[in-house]
């Protein structure tokens, strides 16, 4: 693995990915968004009209291939060499991704890809997801579980995707987050949960920059100020 791994887990809408990206910039690390790989795989399966058959989805991922490519500026999700950063945020992908991510062979494939991608980075990586500190990198240098109230997460997600930020709009986003949290937390394999040795950070009353600073401080404390 990369010499240093910062695992940032938490539920949808906690701001993990945007936080992880800025923390990585500040530390000179790479940022890996593990959800992006599940999404890219889901997109490929949808476009190939594949049912939720794990072996066929993994076969497709290998042949296309689906991957996170290390570029000069970070890791980019690709399907058959095409950048799918925008396409993986489509609603049809969001609606399907939890079901695809619940398939054990899919998770094994993703985990191997994530470990390979992290090993490619010369400095270290900040990697965000649901099971990074528990399953993918149980030996991570720093483990943080980032959370926030359901209401606050729905507001943040509404702003992020520039959806209707009215009360009714936020309620709709919250229902979608709750549905995915329940699916991700109750699945049999690698459910969303904080590792016993993770530091739990509740960002409900923190601004984005305060949240970033809190993670950077925790990371620096553990890996040394020269990181
Ligand atoms: O972080 P995200 O919302 O883009 O992730 C999309 C889905 O992928 C999420 O609903 C659950 C799944 N996922 C997972 O099961 N394990 C991870 N480490 C990352 C994401």
Is 12 a residue whose pLDDT tops 90?
Answer: no
Give the whole-angstrom CA distance, residue 108 versus residue 62.
13
Region 168-189: mean pLDDT is 89
The H or E element spanning position 9 is strand 5-9
Region 121-137: mean pLDDT is 95
Ligand 1 mutation target, pool 130, 188, 189, 194, most atoms within 8 A of CB: 130
Domain boundaries, the chain: 1-29+124-220, 32-122
Give the whole-angstrom CA distance, residue 174 versus residue 108.
30
Q: What is the pLDDT of residue 162?
A: 62
**Closest ligand 1 atom to Cα of 180:** 10
Region 3-21: mean pLDDT is 92
Candidates 3.90.1150.10, 3.40.50.300, 3.40.50.150, 3.10.520.10; CATH matching 32-122:
3.40.50.300
| pTM for the structure as a whole | 0.91
Lowest mean pLDDT among 3-7, 61-65, 213-217: 3-7
Q: What is the pLDDT of residue 222?
A: 86
Q: What is the pLDDT of residue 51?
A: 77
209, 144 contact by CB (below 8 A): no
Region 90-102: mean pLDDT is 94
Q: What is the pLDDT of residue 225?
A: 47
Give the whole-angstrom CA distance, residue 116 versus residue 2.
9
Q: What is the pLDDT of residue 203?
A: 94
Task: Provide residues with CB under 6 Å of ligand 1.
Answer: 12, 34-35, 38-39, 97-98, 101, 129-132, 180, 184
**Closest ligand 1 atom to Cα of 183:** 10
**Closest ligand 1 atom to Cα of 17:** 1
Ligand 1 mutation target, pool 13, 14, 34, most atoms within 8 A of CB: 34
Lowest mean pLDDT among 16-30, 41-55, 151-165, 188-202: 151-165
What percent of the chain shows pLDDT beyond 90?
74
Give the whole-angstrom CA distance, residue 226 versus residue 213.
16
Q: What is the pLDDT of residue 226?
A: 43
**Closest ligand 1 atom to Cα of 184:** 11
CATH number of 1-29+124-220: 3.40.50.300
Q: Do domains 1-29+124-220 and 32-122 have the same CATH topology?
A: yes
């Amino acid at each position: 693995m990369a010499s240093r791994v910062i695992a940032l887990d938490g539920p949808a809408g906690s701001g993990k990915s945007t936080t992880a990206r800025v923390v990585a910039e500040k530390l000179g690390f790479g940022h890996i968004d593990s959800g992006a790989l599940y999404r890219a795989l889901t997109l490929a399966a949808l476009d190939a009209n594949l049912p939720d058959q794990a072996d066929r989805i993994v076969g497709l991922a290998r042949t296309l291939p689906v991957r996170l490519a290390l570029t000069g500026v970070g890791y980019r999700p690709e399907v058959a060499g095409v950048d799918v950063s925008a396409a993986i945020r489509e609603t049809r992908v969001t609606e399907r991704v939890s079901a695809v991510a619940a398939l054990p062979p899919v998770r094994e494939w993703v985990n191997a890809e994530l470990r390979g991608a992290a090993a490619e980075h010369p400095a270290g990586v900040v990697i965000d997801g649901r099971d990074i500190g528990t399953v993918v990198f149980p030996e991570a240098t720093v483990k943080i579980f980032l959370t926030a109230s359901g209401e606050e997460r729905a507001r943040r997600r509404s702003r992020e995707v520039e959806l209707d930020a009215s009360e009714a709009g936020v309620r709709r986003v919250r229902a979608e987050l709750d549905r995915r949290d329940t699916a991700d937390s109750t699945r049999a394999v690698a459910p969303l949960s904080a590792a016993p040795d993770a530091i739990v950070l509740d960002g409900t009353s923190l601004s984005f920059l305060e949240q970033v600073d809190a993670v950077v401080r925790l990371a620096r404390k553990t890996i040394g100020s020269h990181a």
